[in-house]
Amino acid sequence: METKEENEIKPPLKFSNGVDHTKKVIEIIDVSFSYGNDEVLSGISLDVHKGDYLGLVGPNGAGKTTLLKIMLGLLRPTKGEVKIFGTELKEFDRWADLGYVPQKATNFDPNFPATVKEVVLMGRTGRKGLLRQMNKKDEELAEKALREVGMEQYEHRLIGDLSGGQQQRIFIARALAAEPQIIFLDEPTSGVDMKTQDDFYALMKKLNQELDLTLVLVSHDIEKIMGEIMHVVCVDKTLVCHETPEEFLKDSHSRVIAGENVKFIGHHH
Amino acid sequence: MDLNIFQYSFMVRGLEAGIIVALIAPAIGIFLVLRRYSLIADTLAHVSLAGIALGLLLGINPIYGAIGVTALSTVGIERLRSTNKVYGESSLALFLSGSLAFAVILLSLANGFNTGLFSYLFGSIVTVTQNDVYTILILSGIVAAVLAFFYKELIYISFDEEAARAGGIPTRTINFVLILLTALVVSLSIPIVGVLLISALMVIPVVSALQFKRGFATTVLYAEIISIFSVIFGIIASFYLNLSTGGTIVLIMLAIFSLILLVAPGTKKGV
């Protein structure tokens, strides 16, 4: 169900780079989500195309992360339908095609006894399937992923001994090791310094353009990502906009969201 | 007095059973410690006492009684937790005290508390029969095989459960398997260290090995070495000094842990 409403909101997109608009990798059709009686997302419809580099923005508590988790199959929508690579979520089983870089701080024990290589190898787990042991090929793919993010010299270091920015590269390598088609990143640049942020966006550009990966990035740092992404999706319970960064900066309704976020950034940083 | 430990077949059996348990306990213990599940081991240990009491009452091998009751309780604990009607920890407390109460009632029915109970509470390798050794060997083999099959999933879930789930790992199933294996290992460890000291066997070698701050595989290896050394040394020492075996093993483990805390290079990096 391609809603009329969505067509009204969404201005014609200018297509750049390697986005293939004939191939929808994700279709979100009129999706709502509630925690108990508290509706977090309402009537969201959105297509993500192959090769896109999508920024998901919105004020704090607007449901960005919830939407991301719905796309990853971590949350089931209360209403509506999600298709990944054309398959309905309920029947979808190619989870290893979706890479996930979670918000670092929430999920990670810095004292966990694992080397960088052991962490990257975890990314192979879903691809292997149950009852299969890791082999030489998995090791090679883990090493290759480490080279992609420029961290091969840290292979034997403990994950907890690295800096925040380095750890994030390792988690990106972990996602890459599964050889995914899409990578989802949740607030990847929160709490890292400017230089690390620049390195991060350079790496994202490389993954998107050279490795042809579709990227979905949740961020509240609107100013920064506008110069990086191809399309921006603004969420504030409903889908507020889906357009190019140029259009976003021109649109007045977006400025409201941007304004809220600038305020939000000011409070927390 | 010339006492050769190997002249006594019960000591040989005790050592055999002890070494098997020493190998398997840290292998599962590392996941319990890293997942903050240490309390589950302790709960299941107390639950196993109800199984032992049931075994004594019905005249079946108490180890089998323990396996049956701990496995059933595992299902019960998971069910109760998944209803979200009580907090996870509270469900453990319910099962811990509930099964202990059940055990006390069963034991009072079975002609009150006897000396046999003492050996189940604190372990007594003297009572290990050849059949027990075979049972421990076979069941430990099963636990080791299942652990090996799910090893990569268990590591991933322990490190980052959400990312593992997003990657299509059946986390609920794996969590359940982990607790079921814990129930088995708890039951197997009863003759060696007894109900009250089992969680020590699973936890202390792992916590000690973690102090070295190494990678996962290396940490497991260190925990195994500490565990096997403590159990062998503990059994031999308790024999010559005429001490409780379980208590001796656990105190040796604690001594090693304290020593490591003192000397371990806190900032050491690498594998």
Domain boundary among the residues A180, A209, A227 is at A180
> Could you report the predicted ipTM of this complex, rounded to two decimals?
0.86
What's chain A's average pLDDT?
A: 84
CB of A91 within 8 Å of any CB in chain B? no
**Domain annotation covers residue A264:** yes
Bridge-based pairing state of the strands A231-236 and A53-57: parallel
Q: Domain check: are A218 and A243 in the same one?
A: yes
- Residues B214, B218, B222, B223, CA torsion sign: positive
Residues with Cβ within 8 Å of A211's Cβ and at least 6 positions away in sequence, in order, are A148, A176
Q: Do A161 and B269 touch (CB under 8 A)?
A: yes
Q: Flag whether residue A122 sits within 8 Å of chain B, measured between CB atoms.
A: yes
Q: How many helices (H) and strands (E) does chain A have?
A: 10, 10
Kindly state whether residues A34 and A71 are assigned to the same domain.
Answer: yes
Q: Kindly state whether residues A66 and A192 are assigned to the same domain.
A: yes
For A7-38, b where at least 16 C-beta lie within 10 A, e where not — what string? Answer: eebbeebeeeebbeeeebbbbbbbbbbeeeee
Q: Closest Cα partner for B180 from B76, B99, B102, B82?
A: B76
Inter-residue contact B187 to B63 (CB < 8 Å): yes
**Chain A residues within an 8 Å CB radius of B152:** 121-122, 124-125, 128, 133-134
Out of A94, A95, A109, the one facing B166 most closely (by C-beta) is A95
Spatial distance between the Cα atoms of A20 and A48, rounded to a whole number of angstroms: 10
Does residue A99 lie in a domain region? no
Please compute the mean of the pLDDT values over residues B200-209 and round it to a whole number.
95
pLDDT-derived band at A245, boundaries 50, 70, 90:
confident
B156 found inside a domain = yes
Does B219 sit within 8 Å of A107, measured CB to CB? no
Q: Do B65 and B55 contact (CB within 8 A), yes or no?
A: yes
Last residue of a domain, one of A146, A180, A214: A180
| pLDDT bracket for residue B198 (50, 70, 90) | confident
User: Is there a domain that residue A143 lies in?
Assistant: yes
Give the residue, A104 or A167, on which the prediction is more confident. A167
Please check whether residues A38 and A148 belong to one and the same domain.
Answer: no
Q: Which of A71-75, A116-120, A185-189, B232-236 has the lowest mean pLDDT?
A: A185-189
Range of the domain at A116: 108-180
Give yes or no: residues A78 and A190 share one domain: yes
Say whether pLDDT at B262 is over 80: yes
B271/A contact by beta carbon, under 8 A: yes
pLDDT tens by residue, A145-204: 999 999 999 999 999 999 888 998 999 999 999 999 999 999 887 777 888 889 999 999
Q: Which residues of A touch B269 (CB under 8 A)?
A: 157-158, 161
B240 assigned to some structural domain? yes
Per cent of chain B over pLDDT 90 is 54
Q: How many domains does chain A have?
A: 2
- Looking at residue A248, its pLDDT comes to 84
Q: Residue A268 pLDDT more than 60?
A: no
**Based on the domain organization, do A72 and A201 belong to the same domain?**
yes
A38 & A77 share domain: yes
In a domain, A93, yes or no: no
Residues A143 and A10 in one domain: no
Q: How many CA atoms lie within 13 A of A230 on its CB side?
A: 24
Q: Does position A14 have pLDDT exceeding 80, yes or no?
A: no
B178: CATH: 1.10.3470.10
**Assigned domain for B99 exists:** yes
Domain final residue pick, A180, A210, A225: A180
In a domain, B271, yes or no: no
- Terminal alpha carbon distance of chain B: 47
Give me the mean pLDDT over the A206-228 stretch.
90
Would you say residue A90 lies in a domain? Answer: no
CA–CA separation, B68 vs A137, rounded Å?
A: 41
Give residue-wise pLDDT tens across range B53-100: 888 888 888 888 999 999 999 888 888 877 778 777 888 888 899 999
Which among B160, B218, B219 is the nearest to A107, CB-wise?
B160
* Per-residue pLDDT at B190 exceeds 50: yes
CA dist list (Å): B235 to A81, B19, B144, B248: 62, 10, 23, 8
Q: Is residue A253 part of a domain?
A: yes
Number of domains composing chain B: 1
Q: What is the percentage of chain B residues whose pLDDT exceeds 70? A: 94
User: From the candidates B31, B37, B159, B173, which should be mutated to test the interface with A, based on the most A CB atoms within 10 A?
Assistant: B159
Same domain, A174 and A67: no
Backbone torsions φ then ψ of B125, nearest 5 degrees: -70, -15
pLDDT at A253: 55
Q: Can you give the CATH number for the domain in which A76 is found? A: 3.40.50.300
pLDDT value at residue A12: 41
Q: State mean pLDDT over A85-103.
A: 90
Contact A109 B34 (CB under 8 A): yes
* pLDDT score, position B109: 81
Q: What is the pLDDT of residues A193-207, one digit of tens each?
A: 888 889 999 999 999
C-beta atoms of A113 and B149 within 8 A = no
Q: What is the pLDDT of residue A2?
A: 43
Residue B233 lies in a domain: yes
Give residue B126's pLDDT: 80
pLDDT of residue A256: 58
B265: contact with A, CB 8 A cutoff: no
Query: B36 lies in which domain range?
Result: 5-263
Tens digit of each residue's pLDDT (9 = 90 or more) over B103-161: 888 888 876 656 577 788 888 888 888 888 999 999 999 999 999 999 999 999 999 99
| Whether residue B1 has pLDDT greater than 60 | no
Contact B210 A111 (CB under 8 A): yes
User: Do A210 and A239 fall into the same domain?
Assistant: yes
Residue A262: predicted pLDDT: 44
Residue A61 has pLDDT above 70, yes or no: yes
Whether A196 and A64 share a structural domain: yes
